[in-house]
Amino acid sequence: MMRPATEPSAFPSPAERRQRNREEVRVAILEAARAVMREQGVAALSLREVARRVQMQAPSLYAYFPSKMALYDALFLTAVRLRAEYRDRDDEGREGFWDRLEGRFESYFRFAQENPELYQLAYERPVPGFVPSAESLEEAFQAPA
């Protein structure tokens, strides 16, 4: 008895699997970096400590982020996108200018309280020499306040 052939599109290609694995490692690196920044301060981010937490050698991080500043840039973009999610969630069901304004303030403060490391990186700029990339700034400027 023959079993039916499975559609080839049901299984990811090797390239798709590699891309998915690469993205999973990037996410793990970003999460580890956030944890280090929460514990030791935003400006004290150590690539060696991030690498240790994701169980890889520090030079291996450069395959995912070409520099420490590139890692900061990815974290800045994470902050911009997460802040937009907070804002959008608080905008739901609000009517009238003052009600929406109150929601914006509430979402801003909740974002800062729940994500202090991202808030500091995006709004306080505690890292000497860090300037977000043009692409990240473009996305940040396009997001409504």
| Per-residue pLDDT tens digits for 126-140 | 999 999 999 999 999
Q: Report whether pLDDT(75) > 80.
A: yes
State residue 7's pLDDT score. Answer: 56
State residue 5's pLDDT score. Answer: 52
Structure tokens at 69: 């500043």
Could you tell me how many residues make up the chain?
145
Q: Report whether pLDDT(2) > 70.
A: no
Do the beta carbons of residue 71 and residue 47 sit within 8 Å? yes
Model pTM score: 0.85
Do the beta carbons of residue 42 and residue 121 sit within 8 Å? yes
Structure tokens at 22: 């690469």
Q: Report whether pLDDT(9) > 70.
A: no
Q: For residues 77-88, give the mean pLDDT.
A: 95
Q: Report whether pLDDT(3) > 70.
A: no
